[in-house]
Amino acid sequence: MIVGGWLGAGQKPHPENRSHAPPGLNRRLWRPAKCSTNIDTIGHLFGPNPGRKGNVVANKRKIIVHIATSADGYIARPDGDLEWLTKRPAPKGFYGIAKFMNSIDAKLLGRKTYDLSVQMGAAFGTQTPHYVFSRRPAPASVPAGVAFVSEAIGAFAKRLRTGKGKDIWMMGGGEIIASFLDEGPIDDFIISVIPAFIGEGIPLIAHRHRHVPLRLQSVRRFPDGVVQVHYQVR
Ligand SMILES: NC(=O)c1ccc[n+]([C@@H]2O[C@H](COP(=O)([O-])OP(=O)(O)OC[C@H]3O[C@@H](n4cnc5c(N)ncnc54)[C@H](OP(=O)(O)O)[C@@H]3O)[C@@H](O)[C@H]2O)c1
């Protein structure tokens, strides 16, 4: 499903049981879920991530934004509409999403993106924890595999990144990306630029004065006109 590709929420449940909250989470908000791998134990299966140069300590799990934008830099129309994106034919390989999905084992979402995913009927698989950031109380009930987080981003991200595991997908939207970026823990951006202008909308990163130098890692051009740029935050 395309939404599962862009918003990444569609995953199949797994038969084993999850019995405890991931580190740092309010256990009251964590619902035991069926899960094949535990965020605490998965690291030994896959080993450390490649180290990074610069001021970032090697072997930390990376937090990677992987997202689609219009050519004029929006991730959704002002009312959240995504038809300009989801109505596009899904190409074979879906812009390398399968390989990326294999490289991550946790997902981060803003509460608005979570709400929209729920409205769109997305399934939240239990194999990969979904951490939804909100400053408000969590809903009375959330799907298995979803945990609401109200803790400060810096402390939460530090604990998550230094724990064992694969990389972490920052799914968006623009407000939570901005919050993470301004706190510092985002490592990479993989942006699939859709060949269309939509004129107005929700920006990739909520507007605030900032200067974030990037290092270009790669550019991929797809036959349908999508260009995928991979930047490392310097
Ligand atoms: N094109 C794509 O690939 C793509 C991908 C993802 C999302 N989207 C679209 O993006 C839109 C949503 O983006 P958005 O920017 O409006 O919202 P968002 O980032 O998804 O969610 C914003 C919410 O996150 C919470 N939040 C933000 N900063 C926080 C912080 N520092 N600590 C705790 N919670 C924090 C707040 O929740 P509370 O208000 O509950 O406190 C805030 O209202 C949707 O339309 C979605 O479809 C598109």
The answer to whether the beta carbons of residues 168 and 160 sit under 8 Å apart is yes
Residue 125 near ligand 1, beta carbon < 6 Å: no
What is the biggest distance separating any 2 CA atoms in the chain, rounded to whole angstroms? 47
In this prediction, residue 184 carries a pLDDT of 85
| Distance (Å, whole) CA 33 – CA 127 | 9
The domains of the chain are located at 3-7+24-233
Ligand 1 atom 36: residue of nearest CA:
134
For the chain, the C-alpha Rg in angstroms (whole number) is 17
Q: How far is the CA of 229 from the centre of ligand 1 (A)?
A: 22
Residue 7 near ligand 1, beta carbon < 6 Å: yes
In this prediction, residue 24 carries a pLDDT of 34
| Distance (Å, whole) CA 185 – CA 181 | 6
Residue 126 near ligand 1, beta carbon < 6 Å: no
pTM of the entire predicted model: 0.82
Task: For residue 178, give the ligand 1 atom closest to its CA.
Answer: 28
In this prediction, residue 45 carries a pLDDT of 23
In this prediction, residue 60 carries a pLDDT of 86
Residue 136 near ligand 1, beta carbon < 6 Å: yes
Residue 179 near ligand 1, beta carbon < 6 Å: yes
CATH class, range 3-7+24-233: alpha beta
Instruction: State which of 2, 146, 151, 175 you would mutate to test the pocket of ligand 1, scoring each by most atoms of that ligand within 8 A of its C-beta.
Output: 175
Q: Which of 134, 130, 124 is closest to 106 using CA atoms?
A: 130
Task: For residue 176, give the ligand 1 atom closest to its CA.
Answer: 19
Tens of pLDDT along the chain (234 residues)? 333 456 643 333 333 333 333 333 433 333 333 332 222 222 222 222 333 333 444 568 999 999 999 999 999 999 999 999 999 999 999 999 999 999 999 999 999 999 999 998 988 988 999 999 999 999 999 999 999 999 999 999 999 999 999 999 999 999 999 999 999 899 999 999 999 999 999 999 999 999 999 999 999 999 999 999 999 999
| Distance (Å, whole) CA 87 – CA 102 | 25
